[in-house]
Amino acid sequence: MKILAIETSCDDTAMAVVECNEDFQNLQTKLLANVISSQTKIHAKTGGIIPNLAAREHEKNLVPVLKETLKQARLKIKEIDLICVTKGPGLQPSLLMGLNFAKTLSYIIKKPIIGTNHLLGHIFSNFIKNDGTFKNEIKLPAVCLLVSGGHTQLYQIESWDEIKLIGETVDDASGECFDKIAKILKLNYPGGVAISKIGESIRLKNKNQKLEFNLPKPLINSKDFNFSFSGLKTAVLYLVQRLKKEKKFNKRIIQKICFETEEVITEVLTFKSMKLAKELNAKTIMIAGGVSANKRLRSKFIEKIGDEFDFVCPDKLMSTDNGAMIAIAGYYEYLRGKKDDCLTLEVDPNLII
């Protein structure tokens, strides 16, 4: 079965064609095409994503990306058997562009369509290798930390039919916090990547670099499994204002703040994930979402977990938004009997699992 997947939840126009058999437990996949058109350079000018601008870029990109995807897959559109498209969560203008495009294709070629959950796509990205083959090696029950620019959530996974949200951010997501602190420090967009690069350079120079600014670790000792990163962002803002007033703000200080920001955020994420895994007697800890590509986050999980849990993370190419993850998640729902109507399917910007 050949699946065309369309992902436009935020600022990347992504499509993929994945060929699958019809047995999820013994799923065999082949990635025939995986195309991503990034808008990073466009949004770098404003230091953040402007929804209506992102939607206009999707409108420009959808047809060229489809043509390139079919070209790579060596297929004609009528040879597609199933269309999977992100229906939420995400930016409503962006979601509408992708969904309406997919509905039109479904209607024209008379093939079924599945409105797919973007968050489920990120979780299922752990099944996909960079070469597009499938890895079904995850021991359940599991805990999944989903971290991105818009989400910081902890899920309990008893089975792939039973995924339960246990905790989430009460304000800013971790990726959002990275971006906002980078903006305070006047670093390039995307901020998380800039902070991570600087943090890594500090670690390479000094493996024993200490935390100097005593930045807060919000909710790290709370009894629940929620997160909060707004206070960390505010603490950095006040720190920068004070250091500028004292004429102590310089390049070296910026590097130290980046290092400490990354250490604090990754410490909170790993601590709460492991706490939940122990409480639930989980066998596996998974991470997913754009922030899961963060090198320090991955290394800190590996350091802390040891032999206590299995640790599973997506191949880096699959960490950020892509069509392949939407194909697998949508196909899983299709095999469970889900069907959508191409005439009535609607976006849901606040969709949950």
Residue 111 · residue 83 · CB < 8 Å: yes
For 92, residues 6+ apart whose C-beta sits below 8 A from its C-beta are 51, 347, 349
329 and 306 both lie in a single domain: no
Distance, CA of 138 to CA of 285 (rounded, Å): 9
Distance, CA of 338 to CA of 340 (rounded, Å): 7
150 and 257 both lie in a single domain: yes
- Confidence label for 341 from pLDDT (cuts 50, 70 and 90): very high
30 and 175 both lie in a single domain: no
Distance, CA of 322 to CA of 118 (rounded, Å): 10
305 and 237 both lie in a single domain: yes
112 and 165 both lie in a single domain: no
Residue 344 lies in a domain: no
Distance, CA of 346 to CA of 206 (rounded, Å): 52
178 and 90 both lie in a single domain: no
What's 227's domain CATH number? 3.30.420.40
147 and 236 both lie in a single domain: yes
Average pLDDT over residues 274-292: 96
pLDDT digits (tens, 9 = 90+) for 58-111: 999 999 999 999 999 999 999 999 999 999 999 999 999 999 999 999 999 999
Fill in the DSSP letter of residue 96.
Answer: H
112 and 172 both lie in a single domain: no
Residue 49 in tokens: 């994503």
23 and 88 both lie in a single domain: yes
Please give the pLDDT value at position 316.
87
The pTM of this model reads 0.93
Which residue segment(s) compose the domain that 72 sits in? 2-130+319-335
Overall residue count recorded for the chain in this entry:
353
Classified as helix, coil or strand, 81 is coil
pLDDT digits (tens, 9 = 90+) for 121-149: 999 999 988 887 888 789 999 999 999 98
Average pLDDT over residues 15-37: 89
221 and 122 both lie in a single domain: no
